[in-house]
Amino acid sequence: MNTLCAPNLRAALAGVARESVHCGLNQGASGNVSVRSRAGLLITPSAQAMAALTADDMVEMDLAGAVMGEGRPSSEWRFHRDIYAAFPAAAAVVHAHSPFAVALACLRRDIPPFHYMVALAGGMDIRCAAYATFGTQALSDAVLAALRDRRACLMANHGLLAWGHDLPDALALANEVEALCGQYLRACQVGEPVLLSTAEMAEVLEKFRDYRSPR
């Protein structure tokens, strides 16, 4: 987990929020980002443009959902909190309304093993979570089900979500999932992609166990 002190952690979170816009994952006030903190989590605020966020805008919460200090947290705070409770290795979460992920999520399709980089999310495929209204516990429950043994998922008629071992790791995985969505959609326009077998994906997953350098 990131060991930055609180002011630097706030600045790092705001920086990743702004970067999510610069790299095309989010636009306007869409999406949200969080990082695990000593007290619980820091999360981006509700209804503010991501590209303009600063360290002072970040909202701190405990894992019971109570706000510590000032600010109104993202309406999606429930799945951030629940991810940290369910996955001890999760130190940061990036949620995005990126173009290709939204397009595929609106089809409510999983990402199958059409490319070996699908394994970067932790399994043989990347699931699409069932639809539920944004900000609800029902959505958080659907997300957790889709994330079983995974670090990323799509969210039906909504977007994508990725968790990482720190903020850069979560952002990098979100970017990779968006790229995979674009590649899969393009391949489907030409024909049905040839999928890797269970044995081929198992070999990739084994290689990926040692791929990520220790943090």
Q: How far is C-alpha 214 from the chain's CA centre?
A: 20
**Active-site option among 70, 76, 178, 203:** 76
Which residues neighbour 201 within 8 Å (Cβ) at sequence distance 6 or greater?
Answer: 113, 116, 118, 119, 124
Check residue 61 and report its DSSP letter: E
Query: Helix, strand, or coil here: 60?
Result: strand
Handedness of CA 166, 85, 81, 103 (dihedral sign): positive
| Burial of 186 per CB tally in 10 Å (0-12, 13-18, 19+) | exposed
Residue 200 is among the residues annotated as catalytic for this protein: no
Q: What is the residue type of 67?
A: V
Q: Which residue has the tokens 């609800």?
A: 136
Q: Tokens standing for 100?
A: 């290709």
Residues taking part in catalysis: 76
